[in-house]
Amino acid sequence: MTTRARPRRKVTIKDVAADVGVSLQTISRVLNKSPNVSAKAREKVEEAVARLGYSPSLAARRMGGSKSFLLLALNDRDRTIEQWRAREGIDWVDQMLLGGITTCAEHGYRLILELVDTHSDNIAGELGNALAALRPDGVILTPPHSDNRKVLDILEREGVACARIGGFDQASGTIIRMDDHAAAGRCVEHLAALGHRRIGFVAGDPEYQLSTERLAGYRDAIAAAGLEADDSLIAEGDFGYASGLKAAEVLLSLDRPPTAIIASSDQMALAVMAVARDKAIAMPDQLSVIGFDDTPIARTTTPALTAISQPVAAMTARAAEVLIQPDGDVARGANGQPHVIPFELTVRASTGPAPR
């Protein structure tokens, strides 16, 4: 009869402490590379950890008291849940988690996502409860939280470091963003090079500062290309598909409709394309369309959508690095200026030469 071997018991921090003859707090301080440990004790602990094959848990590392080894990411509740319930998916959130989780894992950290309503009257209570429960080493803010003065004040009052993706106000924290002004300008340049003279623009939610930046980039690029500035070519949107439908109806019903339209999100760009199909407007022969985000559907729609690829994963990775290593060169940046992560314009079949 074969006797099954009993599984080996996992080595705990208590085993290491008993082996070395020191307190659990001392073991934790060594694991956390705290300076308040003698060289002799550090050497004995490190030798025991290696010999016993101990793998520290998050709880054990937190016993030192100085760090939690957790980062908290805040995203807008209403917009996120609305899109989840509509089963549209949010590639922005996926990419944010990709950049944040992988970077945290490299440094032995964990990333926790919390959804907070930026319009809530009880935002102080919501955020305060999360901070008290998790004791994060830092908070990653995404738009529109990135420029929410109430959120920034709470974090500053609690002494919690923050990295602000898409932030613009220099008041506090470290800003990580792409150049939205330049991205919109690059779209105009691409279309102007294809011969388009009337280029429409669907703006994003005005609550987001990046929407203002993109609109300004569009206007400046129109002027730089020597094109006529026509406010009738600018339509309001809120990043959502429904607002894109309304904006497209307005733009494509003009007496002199645009031959190209830039939309501040992929969802609004897809809406523009849907309206164009309903009106039997061929793309890109009669209408070129550009989106912002470069979500997966941009590659599978017909025609495939030309879009600005936002470096969301790279921005979140940089935000995590800033919070994990607050005294490093990455955190300091260049002369205290925002960390600007490069974008790309991915050209696909939805843009082509202007109709003759």
Would residue 264 count as lying in a domain? Answer: yes
Would residue 266 count as lying in a domain? Answer: yes
Would residue 85 count as lying in a domain? Answer: yes
| Cα dihedral 111, 321, 76, 86 sign | negative
Regions of the chain short of the pLDDT cut 50: 1, 331-335
DSSP 76-109: EHHHHHHHHHTT---HHHHHHHHHHHHHHHHTT-
Would residue 8 count as lying in a domain? Answer: yes
| 316 and 173 assigned to the same domain | yes
The C-alpha torsion from 135 through 137 and 143 to 145, rounded to 10°, is 40
pLDDT of residue 217: 98
Q: Do 289 and 269 touch, CB atoms closer than 8 A?
A: yes
pLDDT digits (tens, 9 = 90+) for 293-313: 999 999 999 999 999 999 999
| 135 and 205 assigned to the same domain | no
| 143 and 202 assigned to the same domain | no
Would residue 54 count as lying in a domain? Answer: no
Helix (H, G, I), strand (E, B) or coil at 208: coil
| 159 and 189 assigned to the same domain | no
Domain count within the chain? 3
Q: Do 237 and 268 touch, CB atoms closer than 8 A?
A: yes
| 185 and 299 assigned to the same domain | yes
Would residue 344 count as lying in a domain? Answer: no
Would residue 55 count as lying in a domain? Answer: no
Q: At what angle do helices 180-193 and 209-224 cross, to 10 degrees?
A: 40
| 173 and 209 assigned to the same domain | no
pLDDT of residue 317: 97
| 189 and 303 assigned to the same domain | yes
pTM (two decimals): 0.79
CATH number at residue 77: 3.40.50.2300
CATH number at residue 26: 1.10.260.40
What is the distance between the alpha carbons of residues 267 and 252, in angstroms, rounded to a whole number? 17
| 215 and 284 assigned to the same domain | yes
| 189 and 305 assigned to the same domain | yes
DSSP 51-79: HHT----HHHHHTTSS---EEEEEEEHHH
| 220 and 304 assigned to the same domain | yes
Would residue 81 count as lying in a domain? Answer: yes
Which domain, by its residues, includes 21? 1-44
| 191 and 302 assigned to the same domain | yes
Q: Do 259 and 355 touch, CB atoms closer than 8 A?
A: yes
Q: Work out whether strand 344-346 and strand 174-177 pair parallel, antiparallel, or are unpaired.
A: unpaired
Instruction: Record the tokens describing residue 95, joined without a space.
Output: 């990419």
pLDDT of residue 335: 47
| 83 and 169 assigned to the same domain | yes
pLDDT of residue 55: 67
What is the distance between the alpha carbons of residues 311 and 290, in angstroms, rounded to a whole number? 17
pLDDT of residue 57: 56
pLDDT of residue 27: 73
